[in-house]
Amino acid sequence: MCVEDKPELLHARIAALETKLKEERKAHDAEMARLKSENYDALEASQTRYQGELTIQRANYERQIIELRARLEAFDA
């Protein structure tokens, strides 16, 4: 009879493997949470930059509209 065949040793080995599995799941969950947080932060920064670019574009368009209206009024006058 092999030492590994004893029920108490098998139960101990199973318990050790279950504990290791729980630790690895916990580490994996923590890593996934970190990655999601980093991705969210990157997305938030990207959206902030995009909103800034849109604000600049809008200001430029408004300035161009004002200039074009001024030209049109000059022709009408």
The number of folded domains in the chain is 1
Please enumerate in sequence order all residues whose Cβ is within 8 A of that of 10, keeping only pairs 6 or more positions apart, or say none: 4
Do 41 and 47 meet the contact criterion of CB atoms below 8 Å apart? no
**pLDDT exceeds cutoff 80 at 36:** yes
Residue 2 scores a pLDDT above 60: no
**Res. 4: pLDDT tops 70:** no
How far is the C-alpha of 56 from the C-alpha of 58, rounded, in Å?
5
SS3 assignment, position 77: coil
> Tens of pLDDT along 39-66?
999 999 999 999 999 999 999 999 999 9
Structure confidence at residue 47 (pLDDT): 94
* Tens digits of residue pLDDT in 6-31: 888 989 999 999 999 999 999 999 99
Full domain range(s) for residue 19: 3-29+36-76
CA dist 61 and 75 (Å) reads 21
The dihedral of CA 66, 72, 75, 77: what is its sign?
negative
